[in-house]
Structure 1
Amino acid sequence: MLSRHDPDVPDWNGLSAEEKRLYARMMEVFAGFLEHTDHYIGELINFLKEIGEYDNTLIMVISDNGASSEGGPTGSVNEGKFFNNVPENLEQNLAAIDDIGGPKYFNHYPWGWTHAGNTPFRRWKRETYRGGTSDPFILSWPQGIAARGEVRSQYCHAIDMVPTVLAALGIEPPSPTRGVSQSPIEGFSLDPCFANPAAPSLHLTQYFEMFGHRSLFHDGWRAVCPWPGTSFAESGRRFGDPISYDQLIQLDAHGWELYNLNNDFAETNNLAEAERDRLIAMIGMWYVEAGKYKVLPIDSRGTQRFAVERPQIAADRQRYIYYPGTQMVPLNAAPRVLNRPHSISVEVEVPAAGAEGVLFSMGGNDGGFAFFVQNGLLTYGYNYVAEQFFRVHSSGPIPAGHHIVSFEFTPTGPADVANGKGTPAKVVLFVDGQPVGEGNLPVTIPLSLGLAAGVAVGSDPGSPALPDYQPPFAYGGKIKRALVDVTGTPIADQEEKLREILARQ
């Protein structure tokens, strides 16, 4: 039996002609990218065949979660809006329809396609019904698996992939490595079912938790405690709403559901009342697993968690030196500059004829900023979730020769993170410590810059942060290095210090 029509998904027949056209286009783009992916998987397989390694290669193909729901009910031309609490705009989506699927946007389909993509299951990614946790999983190993085109029904989780590879290689994982004790490898090998479709499942118990939405699989049964509810429409809550202590007590007493997957594949028949003893035992089992694997305390916050600083291997720093010609540094390893004072200074050699290009960039077409020279002018450009673009220009060109060019970002008001607004700011441009231009940013990104972007010096690789140029728009002069300073010290007070810091590198 299929799961019900989701209450959060509008009925297709109730949509306007323009909405249908837009949503159809969004799914066309998704289907096209899936075909693109399939093509390049095929190229990899053909290469393995060409070098004679295909038959003895274990190939595993899996998706990362249930169909994604970040597009919301109307879809999005910028998935980054979701991660920054910026509301979607149907009119903006409709205006962008001809460019969806191209390099201009970081688009995402609406909930209707999320629900359809998870058929026959209910709900989606970020939740722990089967629609959020069940994925297609394909294995191929011609030399090691005699079966062809067969289906296996043993329970499997992503943590079973590594044990399966180790078993195929005949390798026992080492307990210490170079004298360092290793965490135990969790999961079970799937190799018993390669030759025997009726082999018993080894993986009998598996917990799930995602933003306070909890579930447990145990020996063919699933217990589910949905948060913020079975749907947003029915619960009246939103994604990321906190769970209070009293609410948690009530959820554990009355909020769990129970399904027998042996005859209810899609979780449609809640047996919580009929199988109360089993359910109570499975709730207790969830807490045992959650304690064992460090899930507790339960944290239902959504995008707010992105702002929490995570432990880093490197010591915390106030200044960072970057060099040109290196790989882009991912944002999770980059300086944290959102909603705080910061400055970036770049040491350059400007040729006599002048030069254009990006000096420093951070972000992508879904949000970020770039510090660049164009038409002879030093420019700071800011991309607020591909919805608004702001620019600050110097009053004149940069003279030829050796210079330190900088910008200073100073917050001028509080951030309103819950409503998708980072701090407003004043930006001042400098050449050798002397101000050459200034402007204001009425709003900035509150939580996360471009999803697939990072820090780059001397160019803006990949999808550009600004539509003002074509990537990579590499700087035509010479860049020696760049300094990112998050101390909050004004540029005017640290010109000599800048030269000292850069000279030492």
Structure 2
Amino acid sequence: MHLTPMSLKEYKPGSPFPGVIGRTWEQSSPAWPAPLRSKPGAPNVLFIILDDTGFGHLGCYGSPIRTPNLDRLAKGGLLYNNMHTTALCSPTRACILTGRNHHSNGMGTITETSLGYPGYNGTIPFENGFLSEMLMEAGYNTYAIGKWHVTPAEQTSAAGPYSRWPLGRGFERFYGFLGGDTHQYYPDLIHDNHAIRPPGTPEEGYHLTPDLVDRAIDCIADTKQVAPDKPFFLYFAPGAMHAPHHVPREWADAYAGQFDDGWDAYRQKVFQKQLELGVLPRGTQLSRHDPDVQEWDSLPPEEKRLYARMMEVFAGFLEHTDHHIGRLLKFLEDTGQLDNTLIMVLSDNGASAEGGPHGSVNELKFFNNAPESLAQNLAAMEDLGGPKYFNHYPWGWAWAGDTPFRRWKRETYRGGTTDPFLVHWPRGIQAKGEVRTQYAHAIDMVPTVLDCLGLEPLAEIRGVTQSPIEGVSFKHTFNDGNAASRHRTQYFEMFSSRAIYHDGWRAVCPFPGPSFTEAGEGFGESLLDEDRLRELDAHGWELYHVAQDCSETKNVAEEHRGKLIEMIALWYAEAGRYQVLPLASPTRAVFALERPQLTKDRTRYVYRPHTSPAPENAAVHVLNRPHTITADVEVTRDTEGVLLSHGGLTGGYTFFIQDHKLHYAYNYLGEQEFHLESAVDVPEGRSELRFEFEPTGKPDLKVGRGTPGRGRLYINGDLVAQSTIDATMPVAISLGEGLTCGRDENSPVSQRYDAPFEFTGTLHQVTVDVVGEHVRDTKAEQKAALAKQ
């Protein structure tokens, strides 16, 4: 019996079989479980999530930085000037993906600084389904490309569990990195559920952003050549514009001299352009000069030049990112998909001030309390943006990047929470190039997509009953610029800085104060106890009528005391509703909390070659304690390569064989290398090779110096080399480049070889024994964690 496609009978899986089952095939009539198909004509969905990009950074928002491809989306779609985020990376991304508030997702902070309370445990509950899970059930292909950072930090090693990795949360394919940032030339790449090496080197022209775009295009092309009518959801989140600010030199050089007049002048120019473009309403005032930011004209010439170059690198990085986003958009256009792709572009928070007041060329120094040297930074200036440094601009540029608002990322003034947001969907939006002023928040993206697709939120996903979506759709604003906002109330909380919006009013309670200068305390130095919280609730709240004063320049708390009290009460009501309490100040005690681990800490770690890198938080902690590294090897006359390495160009250690000799190199923060080399050759055959570190003093954690000591090399028990290692890192070994056995995975720890310098002999295992107390600086560890946002 021949069946034509028209005669196929299908039925919904789980429903009764509608065919006929006889004693034989000839007496029977088949029916098939219906494949999962999307609605005819369903649009593709593309989220482009930028990192650390302020309200005043994109060209279409008044910036002098060239972003023609994103500007094209604004010209052909809509630009929103009243879109909000949580002020931090992981919390915002959780909102974007689930449509629920960050504390409802357990993401009151980043995963690395989670706390043992429902709103802060760093674990997004399965009852808060991801948009990817919803759309996969609607017949979509789902892809995540780039930065993830919503898996508990303790669950990102090869030991898993993988249930909260992208493929466990509804994405069918993933290519990117799991943490908060990564080296753009030597990224820590994950493909689906396993670690891979970058497909190229910086010398070959490799950079992460074009690689991510290539992978995104490949995913779409793979699907469309087989099923051209099947829509996709692509979550595209490059590491840009987070540190390190990495870009090929020609992109930075294109901005030479353009920022020599400084951050104050930048703010003035961008502010005027924003008014001209209609990005800001008439009558908007530029917010005050931030007390924590140096007056540009007061800086010596050499500092001006360094800081201007840092901004040139950032600008080149942004234009480079825009260029490659343009390649993705052109692919969609060339394949006839652009008009029916719903594109939303958002930054996860305001511009980042994590470079500190003077900027940094190696953030690992900041994490280790090591002072930045102006002389060293000036010497590095010509290489900024290249693979040698892990650079970040000073916080004056973050303040400027958030023009016209106050403050920056991590804080709940609008500089931290109000971000560029573009929507482009020619088939679904008639309006072109218009500004939308309706209030919106990252939690509104999921319900808006569902509204556009004609889908209802799922009642359950994989057997788990789903919680209510907490955002509201803003689809009604697409073709009606005068439509009322349906998002009337929104709370904010980040590291005990609080704010609340309601119907055009905004109350803000900064912590520790409106600025570090005015508070007399820096970030992480303030304790929020009950007495201080009462004092803040009595006197620390500010009130702004943002419907008339969008840049928060006129504190009207005294004139509208009743309204302020109402807003404070509303904040507490929302805090109770969304699991915001208890408030926790970012102090040493808070971040020193013990967190659940997959395995207990131990004194003996065994590593084997050809295994995935162990990330920083899962690798053996050798800092500030005696330890030994022992390799069980078989070598020939020509054997060479790395036995064990941890870290990269910016700092780390490596144990290796080269030119028949046994070597150990310790890279102190990219500025000094301690090297031991055996006096004799490594013999052919099976040998035990060992490095020992014996502390000879105490660490000085406050000035960035870990435990000094004496290193020794042994071959089959015989001492073959020894030397002092006067400077070690006290807090963190790497910025993401973890520990690998049998190779140096990404950037080379030592300049004595080229990575990966894979071991060519037989390496059975490497054992690391650690004894003695692990001396820790939890405050510095906190700073290191907070930079991974």
TM bin (shorter chain): 0.7 to 0.9
State the shift of 1:413 in Å: 5.1
Matches within 5 A, 1:150-169: 150-169=434-453
Which one of 685, 693, 696 corresponds to residue 401 of structure 1?
Answer: 685
CA distance 1:432–1:111, shift in 2 (3 Å):
same
The answer (yes or no) to whether the contact 2:528–2:585 under 8 Å persists in 1 is: no
State the shift of 1:59 in Å: 2.6
Q: Which residue of 1 aligns with 2:421?
A: 137
State the shift of 1:379 in Å: 2.7
State the shift of 1:69 in Å: 0.9
- Kindly indicate whether residue 506 of structure 2 is the aligned counterpart of residue 222 of structure 1: yes
> Which residue type is aligned with residue 355 of structure 2?
G
SS in structure 1 at match of 2:428: coil
The answer (yes or no) to whether the contact 2:410–2:495 under 8 Å persists in 1 is: yes
Q: Which residue of 2 aligns with 1:311?
A: 596
Q: Which residue of 1 aligns with 2:570?
A: 285
CA distance 1:148–1:354, shift in 2 (3 Å):
same
Q: Which residue of 1 aligns with 2:387?
A: 103
Distance 2:723 2:317 in 1: 40
State the shift of 1:274 in Å: 1.4
Q: Which residue of 2 aligns with 1:190?
A: 474
State the shift of 1:301 in Å: 2.3
Distance 2:300 2:357 in 1: 14
Partner deviation per Cα, 1:14-45 (whole Å, 9 max, x = no partner) = 22221111111111111111111112111222
State the shift of 1:406 in Å: 4.0
Q: Which residue of 2 aligns with 1:203?
A: 487
- Kindly indicate whether residue 558 of structure 2 is the aligned counterpart of residue 273 of structure 1: yes
Report the more deviating stretch, 414-423 or 276-285. Answer: 414-423
Q: Which residue of 2 aligns with 1:497?
A: none
Partner deviation per Cα, 1:110-163 (whole Å, 9 max, x = no partner) = 122122111111111222211122211222233333333222222222233333
SS in structure 2 at match of 1:148: coil
Which one of 633, 640, 652 corresponds to residue 368 of structure 1?
Answer: 652
SS in structure 2 at match of 1:5: coil
Which structure ranks higher in relative contact order (CA pairs < 8 Å, sequence separation ≥ 6)?
2
Q: Which residue of 2 aligns with 1:503?
A: none
The answer (yes or no) to whether the contact 2:639–2:657 under 8 Å persists in 1 is: no
Question: TM (normalized to structure 2)?
Answer: 0.57
Distance 1:295 1:443 in 2: 42
Runs of 4+ in 1 over 6 A off after TM superposition: none
> Which residue type is aligned with residue 366 of structure 1?
T
SS in structure 1 at match of 2:543: strand
State the shift of 1:431 in Å: 4.1
CA distance 1:88–1:148, shift in 2 (3 Å):
same
Report the more deviating stretch, 37-46 or 282-291. Answer: 282-291
Partner deviation per Cα, 1:375-417 (whole Å, 9 max, x = no partner) = 4333333333334433343343322233443444555555554
Distance 2:537 2:637 in 1: 72
Partner deviation per Cα, 1:352-396 (whole Å, 9 max, x = no partner) = 2231x3222222333332222334333333333334433343343
The answer (yes or no) to whether the contact 1:147–1:195 under 8 Å persists in 2 is: yes
Distance 2:681 2:591 in 1: 39
CA distance 1:406–1:112, shift in 2 (3 Å):
same
The answer (yes or no) to whether the contact 2:527–2:587 under 8 Å persists in 1 is: no
> Which residue type is aligned with residue 420 of structure 1?
G
State the shift of 1:266 in Å: 1.0
Name the % identity: 57
Report the more deviating stretch, 288-297 or 120-129. Answer: 288-297
SS in structure 2 at match of 1:58: strand
Question: TM (normalized to structure 1)?
Answer: 0.86
Distance 1:413 1:216 in 2: 51
The answer (yes or no) to whether the contact 2:651–2:733 under 8 Å persists in 1 is: yes
Distance 2:591 2:664 in 1: 26
- Kindly indicate whether residue 407 of structure 2 is the aligned counterpart of residue 90 of structure 1: no
- Kindly indicate whether residue 320 of structure 2 is the aligned counterpart of residue 36 of structure 1: yes
Aligned residues: 487
Distance 2:471 2:686 in 1: 58
SS in structure 1 at match of 2:499: strand
State the shift of 1:436 in Å: 4.2
SS in structure 1 at match of 2:340: coil
Partner deviation per Cα, 1:146-193 (whole Å, 9 max, x = no partner) = 333222222222233333333344444434433344555432333232
CA distance 1:21–1:192, shift in 2 (3 Å):
same
Distance 1:238 1:451 in 2: 23
> Which residue type is aligned with residue 383 of structure 2?
D
> Which residue type is aligned with residue 30 of structure 1?
F
5+ residue gaps, structure 2: 1-284, 774-789
Distance 1:24 1:359 in 2: 42
State the shift of 1:102 in Å: 1.4
- Kindly indicate whether residue 558 of structure 2 is the aligned counterpart of residue 260 of structure 1: no
Report the more deviating stretch, 49-58 or 406-415. Answer: 406-415
Q: Which residue of 2 aligns with 1:247?
A: 532
State the shift of 1:257 in Å: 0.9
Partner deviation per Cα, 1:32-68 (whole Å, 9 max, x = no partner) = 1111111211122223334443333333322222111
Q: Which residue of 1 aligns with 2:430?
A: 146
Distance 1:24 1:199 in 2: 42
Matches within 5 A, 1:422-433: 422-432=706-716
- Kindly indicate whether residue 333 of structure 2 is the aligned counterpart of residue 16 of structure 1: no
Q: Which residue of 2 aligns with 1:330?
A: 615
